[in-house]
Structure 1
């Protein structure tokens, strides 16, 4: 079996590449070992069913899953019975999943804990000192030296057993890092990273001769409440890329319509990129209608949720992120077939852009278009990505009216060097080309009129 190529950072561009230098962008979602699509892994109840599901994901453009090594909604899914004493059923589960991913070419973004259940079910967790673990209180998870050693040992076990393959895209060293995990001290973020990141990188260099990429993630609203957290999340020198979770109150976590979440996602991506001072990628690794689902106990209607999902992923990509990953927040806890079609549509668009040489800046506020159209985009001197979204009209349920008259749109993209450009239009709903045209930049901007379209259109602009 051919080993899956490892993923690294592009040289000087904020995107990912395979070790061959070929562009690679993560298209996927958050999943969990207890949720329906992967539940058959546990005690090998239905490995063929899981393999069929992974193949189906591949057919829809999915190439990466974000997973917690431990999703402890239930006690029997703890990875360790006690620190250093691993649960054989969970180890077998991960052996099987990594083998399937290797076989099929699927990659994993892995984090050691689901910190939500680690927090709310702390009384039963093996790391709790009351249960024989190292940590006296869940508020000391990031600062307790003994707990830190247990976390490093868990990560060491994971890379020793599963890290020798390109199946591992990257390590998210701590899921949704929060000051409350470290005695309300924001500086605990940097101290944790300073300790765990070099430990993991040095160990992987000894074991594998190279190291997987590293990040840490955060519940995005925390960045507004505690601005000091931007430094370790976006600029820590030991991390390879930045990650945030977009759960803005009212627009994303409980969406009133399908346009407001896109506006928020585009703005939040621009804000994230403004915090990064080097060429590291930014990856949005969690979003969804969490307040509507968790607090109101309501699953969005599929037609609405499909459009909400599609608009979010295009707003984030066009604004300059490397991609995004939905947390399902649905009953059952899986993505809809319509969301899979949206992922396949994005996978078809990606080859239109030379990502490994794309030194983009965000252009959401600089791109010009018609008043009834919202522009999301990024570009450099040689290429650009633009997504145009109509503001309306809306259906009563908050979706854009699919029967709206198709209308042309003016487009002005600044920053492109003087010369001729080819514009490839992409139908994000159908996942197919929607036409092409040529344009000329005079050195300050490229200005064209796009042919008529209805709700939205994506555009890849490259030198002719």
Structure 2
């Protein structure tokens, strides 16, 4: 079996490549070992079903799943029965999953804990000192020295056993860092990163001769509550790329239409890129209707959710992120067939741009188009990506009216070097080209084009003729 190439950063652009130099993009979603599509792994209850699922994901263009090594919604999936004593059933589960991913070509973004349930169910957790663990309080998880050693031992076990291949895309060293996990100490994030990150990187170099990429994630709304969080999340020199979770109140976490969440996601992506000073990639690794699902016990209607999902993923990609990953927040806890089609449509679009040489900047506020249309985009002097989304009209349920008459649009994109450009128009719903156009970028660096009529949205890949 040919091993999967390892993933690294492109040297000249804020995107990813594999070790052969080929473009690689993290198209996928969050999953968990207790959710329906992976549940057959536990005690090998239905391994063929899991393998069929992974093959189906790859056929849908999915390249990566984000998974917690421990998802402790209940008491039977702890990776460690006590610190350093690993659960044989869970170790075998991960052995099997890594082997299936290697066979199907799936990669994983791995994080050691689901910190949401770690926090909620702390009284049961093996790391709780009351249960023989190292940590006296869940408020000390990030700062307790003994807990740090336990976390490092967990990551060491994981990379020794599962980190020797390209199946691991990257390590999310801590899922959703929160000040409350570090006694609200302003240096708790930085100290954790500087302790755990170099330890894991050095160990991987000794074990494998190289190291996987590293990041840490954050619950995005926190960044506005405590501005000091931005420095370690977006700029810490020990991290390879930045990650955030887009859960803006009302617009994203409990959507009432499919347009406002996309606008919010584009703004949040622009704000994230503005925090990055060294050109590292930015990946949005969690979003979804969490408040509506978890607190209001509401599963979005499928047609609405499919459009919300598609709009979110295009807003984030076009704004300059490497991609996005939905937390399902549905019952059952899986993505819909329509969402899989949307992932495939994006995967088919990606080859239209030269990502390893795309030194993009965000252009959401600089692109000019019609008053009834919002533009999301990024570009450099050679190429650009634009996604246009109509404001309406909306149906009563909040979706764009599919019967709206197609209308042309003007488009003005700054920053492109003078010359003639080819514009490939992309139907994001059908997942296919919707035509081509040509446009000239004048000496003032502004490309001006008139686009043919389109309905609710349109993606445009712009490259030199």
Query: Under TM normalisation by the shorter chain, which class is it?
Result: over 0.9
Alignment of 1:220-259 (within 5 A): 220-259=220-259
Alignment of 1:238-387 (within 5 A): 238-387=238-387
Aligned residues: CA RMSD: 0.4
Offset of residue 193 of structure 1: 0.2
Query: d(CA) in 2 for partners of 1:263 and 1:123?
Result: 40
> What's the counterpart of residue 199 of structure 2?
199
Query: d(CA) in 2 for partners of 1:330 and 1:385?
Result: 31
Alignment of 1:9-48 (within 5 A): 9-48=9-48
> What's the counterpart of residue 88 of structure 2?
88
Offset of residue 74 of structure 1: 1.1
Offset of residue 132 of structure 1: 0.3
> What's the counterpart of residue 176 of structure 1?
176
**Do structure 1's residue 71 and structure 2's residue 71 form an aligned pair?**
yes
- Give deviations 1:131-163, integer Å, cap 9, x for gaps: 000000000000000000000000000000000
Query: d(CA) in 2 for partners of 1:185 and 1:312?
Result: 34
Query: d(CA) in 2 for partners of 1:304 and 1:76?
Result: 35
Offset of residue 12 of structure 1: 2.1
- Give deviations 1:86-123, integer Å, cap 9, x for gaps: 00000000000000000011000000000000000000
Offset of residue 279 of structure 1: 1.4
> What's the counterpart of residue 457 of structure 2?
456
Q: How many residues align?
A: 464
Query: d(CA) in 1 for partners of 2:227 and 2:409?
Result: 38
The SS at the match of 1:320 is: coil
The SS at the match of 2:76 is: helix
Segments of structure 1 that go 5 or more residues without pairing to the other structure are: none
Query: d(CA) in 1 for partners of 2:159 and 2:6?
Result: 14
Alignment of 1:52-201 (within 5 A): 52-201=52-201
Query: d(CA) in 2 for partners of 1:114 and 1:292?
Result: 20
> What's the counterpart of residue 213 of structure 2?
213
- Give deviations 1:178-215, integer Å, cap 9, x for gaps: 00000111310000000000000000000000000000
Query: d(CA) in 2 for partners of 1:89 and 1:377?
Result: 46
Query: d(CA) in 2 for partners of 1:195 and 1:116?
Result: 22
Query: d(CA) in 2 for partners of 1:60 and 1:436?
Result: 25
Query: d(CA) in 1 for partners of 2:200 and 2:209?
Result: 12
The SS at the match of 1:76 is: coil
Segments of structure 2 that go 5 or more residues without pairing to the other structure are: none
Query: d(CA) in 2 for partners of 1:61 and 1:128?
Result: 41
Query: d(CA) in 2 for partners of 1:247 and 1:146?
Result: 32
Query: d(CA) in 1 for partners of 2:392 and 2:403?
Result: 11
Query: d(CA) in 1 for partners of 2:435 and 2:50?
Result: 38
Query: d(CA) in 2 for partners of 1:222 and 1:187?
Result: 15
The SS at the match of 2:404 is: coil
> What's the counterpart of residue 391 of structure 1?
391
Offset of residue 242 of structure 1: 0.1
Query: d(CA) in 1 for partners of 2:185 and 2:340?
Result: 40
The SS at the match of 1:423 is: strand
Offset of residue 341 of structure 1: 0.4
The SS at the match of 1:77 is: coil
Query: d(CA) in 1 for partners of 2:29 and 2:406?
Result: 32
Query: d(CA) in 2 for partners of 1:308 and 1:141?
Result: 35
